[in-house]
Amino acid sequence: MADDRPLLFFDSGVGGLSVLSPTRALLPAAPIVYAADNGGFPYGTRSEAEIAARVPALLGRLAERFDPRLIVVACNTASTIALAAVRAALDLPVVGTVPAIKPAAALSATRAIGVLGTEATVRQPYVDDLTARFAADCLVLRHGSARLVTLAEAALAGEPTDAADYAAVLAGLLDQPGGERIDTVVLACTHFPLVSDRLAAAAPRPIAFVDGGAGIARRVAHLTAGQAWPDAPGPGTAMFTAPRPIGDGLRASLGRYGLNHIAFL
């Protein structure tokens, strides 16, 4: 018997689309609800206390409305701050997003990696722990960029962005002492893989950019293995927490990810 319960993806904005895409590739029949907290955007410049209070409450409301079979917190900032509280509050599987430091360390030949995320993410003790566990023999430099989040949002909305802005973001990481050794950069914000091609084009030398999207997709597939799905999914829903105008450029981008229905919480 078909089960119409959706997978619910949650982010402050459009960044979680970088996690939705590989998940849809593995689970093409899965009904999808994508929830963007545009009313709280951006998370990266908010305090830990604000995020810790806001995210579990929002996800509780979304879970009640959509009855998802699984929630993906497709946001590094929300995951590193609020994931434990979300799991404690909800009686269903919750998959979080963590910086891909382990695969980056495995890939780096120079043993120097960068972590590019939001200000809130890069200062979290969780990043210290991942570094100690998986990259103890590496130089690990961090840079927090709210600007890159804004650039990714603009790009998905179909607005022009300047290559110099991407170069400036990278300079914040690569110009640190030891930054000239970096050969691998962790994209520790789900927004950033959406513009990884632009980052690569702006980089002063070849750099590998690593994110956790594919690993999260495999985790979702594992947790839902053996479950029933509809024969074919209906239009995916993009849910926004604030009733602000959604421009044609963003609507078109959402449509490319199968999100053809727009709703507000």
Residues linked to residue 143 through DSSP beta bridges, in sequence order: 116
CB atoms within 10 A of CB 128: 11
Any alpha helices (H) in the chain, and if so which ranges? Answer: 17-26, 48-66, 76-89, 101-107, 119-122, 125-134, 146-156, 163-174, 196-202, 213-223, 248-256
CB of 169 within 8 A of CB of 144? no
- Of 55, 75, 180, 52, the closest CA to residue 121 belongs to 75
Rounded to whole angstroms, the Cα distance separating 121 from 3 reads: 36
Active site residue 138: no
Catalytically annotated residue among 189, 217, 239, 254: 189
Rounded to whole angstroms, the Cα distance separating 263 from 265 reads: 7
Catalytically annotated residue among 35, 51, 74, 75: 75
Active site residues: 75, 189
